Homo-oligomer: A and B are copies of this chain.
Amino acid sequence: MLDVKLTIDPVKGFRVAGIHGGLKADNALDIALIVSDRPCATGAVFTTNRVKAAPVLLCQQRLKDGAGGIRAVFVNTKCANAATGATGLSNAQKVTEWVAEKAQIKPEQVLMLSTGVIGTQLPMSKIEPAVEQAYKALGQNWNNTAQAIMTTDTRPKMASVLIRTSSGEYTIAGIAKGSGMIAPNMATMLSVIVTDAKMNPAQAQSLLSSASQLTFNRIVVDGDTSTNDTVILMASGASGVQLDSATEMLQFQQALTAVCASLAKAAVRDGEGATKFITLDIRGAASDADAHTIGNTIAASPLVKTAFFGNDANWGRIIAAAGRAGVNFDPDKAKLHMVKGEALAKDDHSQEIPGLLLFENGMPTKYKEADATATIKETNIYVTLDCGVGSGRAIVWTCDLSHDYVDINGSYRS
């Protein structure tokens, strides 16, 4: 079993910092910098929104030009630098020039991530001194770095694993920020993942894309897709461990997926106003893609989400959401189970699904309402919807919709 830690020990060759650059109030950390002592093979996944923030456009260009030479990632909060036109892009470039000057590298070796309000320009007069301050603060304080990329997050999100191989050991470590505007079919949120394992840029891209598909693309807070979503994987090779064999590559893939899953689930758990963590296990769909679509539709349904918040086991809304997902779904063939927890004790298709069977043969079973209510009152709820039409499966993680979501998003800019 992989032992994913929620903290990060030093990763060979990387120095990091999280500082207060005057963007957030109350001296809160708001600027992060991650620097590698050597060029990194770098992969990235980005938002699918057609409105892409300036830093996204900048990263995409630089990774196209040379994904093998990345040395640094700079992150600012409070300003998404999205819908900011040519000014926004030139500002982002300028910031990376400042970072490059300090680190004595080329601007093309610097990536930038931004998060915050859409439609305002970067406060350049604050960011210029913040670059210097961040550079001076570089060290091993991953906790500060994770804190410095937070927006409406209530806690920093970190995950790491140490992998031992016959040729030595390497680390995969990541930080992420949520926690609203989280939707399927995109990279989701900001996350920077570093490793001292050695690989080439194509491998970094392929490994990250696969891991994201099963993790960051499987979480839903509110169904909105950000203009800034970016996940970056930087592989420095400083451990000297090269992923040579197929076995080693598979081991890395699994470890990276575990780190990404931990960060993705942490984002949902800390979703804006979330009080519950809900796992939607969609089985028996016509295809995995159909299962994913059904899971996403249920997860984004305001009616489903408010029912969970209200401790109302109104499972009819889950069936109704599945029915409007636009893919093959026949209520007469579907079965719906609900049980407390984050995972099934035995996750095996040949086993009976545990928990309360609420719906089958197109109608409710004779379950006791008190049992259903007891289950939905749990903080962690596992919902299994077996569609009964095929063998497609997808797991989607989501949260409920509460008063606090409305509060947080009704006053985000103030």
> Which residues of A approach B to under 8 Å, CB–CB?
48-52, 80, 82-88, 117-121, 180-181, 183, 222-227, 300-303, 306-307, 309-312, 314-317, 319-324, 329-332, 358-359, 361-364, 401-403, 405-414
Neighbouring B residues of A409 by C-beta, 8 Å: 302-303, 306-307, 310
The closest CB in chain B to the CB of A312 belongs to B413
A51 touching B302 by the CB < 8 A rule? no
Neighbouring B residues of A413 by C-beta, 8 Å: 312, 314
B363 touching A87 by the CB < 8 A rule? yes
Neighbouring B residues of A80 by C-beta, 8 Å: 316
Interchain CA distance A224-B325 in the complex, whole Å? 10
A83 touching B303 by the CB < 8 A rule? no
Which of the residues B224, B319, B331, B411 comes within 8 Å of A302, measured between beta carbons? B224
Which of the residues B82, B85, B225, B320 comes within 8 Å of A226, measured between beta carbons? B320
**Interface of A (DSSP majority class):** loop
A331 touching B364 by the CB < 8 A rule? no
B332 touching A85 by the CB < 8 A rule? yes
Which are the 3 A-B pairs with shortest beta-carbon distances? A310-B410, A118-B316, A51-B323
Which of the residues B118, B315, B317, B331 comes within 8 Å of A319, measured between beta carbons? B118
Check A331/B51 contact, CB under 8 A, given A316-B117, A319-B118, A359-B83.
Answer: yes
Which of the residues B50, B181, B314, B414 comes within 8 Å of A329, measured between beta carbons? B50
Neighbouring B residues of A330 by C-beta, 8 Å: 50
Interchain CA distance A88-B332 in the complex, whole Å? 12
Neighbouring B residues of A183 by C-beta, 8 Å: 324
The closest CB in chain B to the CB of A227 belongs to B320
A222 touching B401 by the CB < 8 A rule? no
Interchain CA distance A330-B85 in the complex, whole Å? 11
Most-contacted residue by chain B among A80, A309, A409 (CB, 10 A)? A409
Give 7 A-B contacts (CB < 8 Å), ordered by A residue: A83-B320, A121-B363, A222-B303, A227-B323, A306-B408, A314-B413, A402-B406
Most-contacted residue by chain B among A85, A181, A183, A323 (CB, 10 A)? A323
B119 touching A225 by the CB < 8 A rule? no
Q: Chain B's nearest CB lies how many Å from the CB of A248?
A: 38
Neighbouring B residues of A87 by C-beta, 8 Å: 363
Q: Chain B's nearest CB lies how many Å from the CB of A184?
A: 11
